[in-house]
Structure 1
Amino acid sequence: MRNLESIEQFEQLKKEGKHLFVFSADWCPDCRFADMFLPEVESKFKDYIFIHVDRDEYIDLCQQLDIFGIPSFIAFNNGTELGRFVSKDRKTQEEIETFISGLK
């Protein structure tokens, strides 16, 4: 999984191809729980490029996108938001895979 490097990069990536942005933070126990299986999820959905977004580093972006709980996921395809899995709850591997499978 690549790390987001700038707001400009976010704007560029969301417009080009299929990207899944994973909003997380180092201090978040639910995010660390998801870290255990995200590589496997990423390997199952090769048509998406997974981008890690550090919530603390990009708090303004999180506010702009109404992301107030982490971990959260937003998928884009060529500038169109395909879906979001945003909540403050811990997410299981099955829930994340179901979310991604349901994207059109």
Structure 2
Amino acid sequence: MGSFLSSLVNPDADAAATDANSAVIAVHSKEAWNDHWIAHKNSNKLLVIDFSATWCGPCRAIEPTFKALSARFADASFVKINVDELSEVAQRWMVEAMPTFVFVKEGKEVARVVGANRDELEGKVVQLMA
């Protein structure tokens, strides 16, 4: 009940709590992406890339789910890329709609979820972490 009341007083309280627990890495430059990619591409660790845009309503709607998954699956790496900032990276990954979530292991794409489907996104993370 306390969290319900606090959400009425501060509707962003849940978002702030999610942000504090989030392990999402926001990449804002091609150099930062290249550094992250080089460090990760030979790893068996799951990399989940969220290609989105600030103006995209479905991207904003699924963002809390993506952040919650990053907190829940600490053994995976969750990265957020704004397609307007890093259009070359989005083109390299053939992103044609937003949001697009690309799942990578050992430098290779192993799955993709296009659209803001919470169940499909969570299911794919669970499947690939098993």
Fold match (TM-score > 0.5): yes
Change beyond 3 A, Cα 1:19–1:13: farther
Alignment of 1:27-66 (within 5 A): 27-66=55-94
Determine which of 89, 93, 100 is the counterpart of 2:125. Answer: 100
Higher helix fraction: Structure 1 or Structure 2? 2
The number of aligned residues is 101
**Structure number having the greater strand percentage:** 1
Q: Secondary structure in 2 aligned to 1:36?
A: helix
Once the two structures are superposed, the pairs formed by residues 3-82 of structure 1 within 5 Å of their partners are 3-4=26-27, 5-6=29-30, 7-15=33-41, 16=43, 17-82=45-110
8 A contact 2:50–2:81 mirrored in 1: yes
Question: Cα RMSD (Å) of the superposition?
Answer: 1.9
The higher-RCO structure (CA 8 Å, 6+ apart) is: 1
Q: Which runs of 5+ in 2 are unaligned?
A: 1-23
Is there any run of 5+ residues in structure 1 with no aligned partner, and where? none
Displacement over 4 Å in runs of 4+: none
Q: Which has the larger radius of gyration?
A: 2
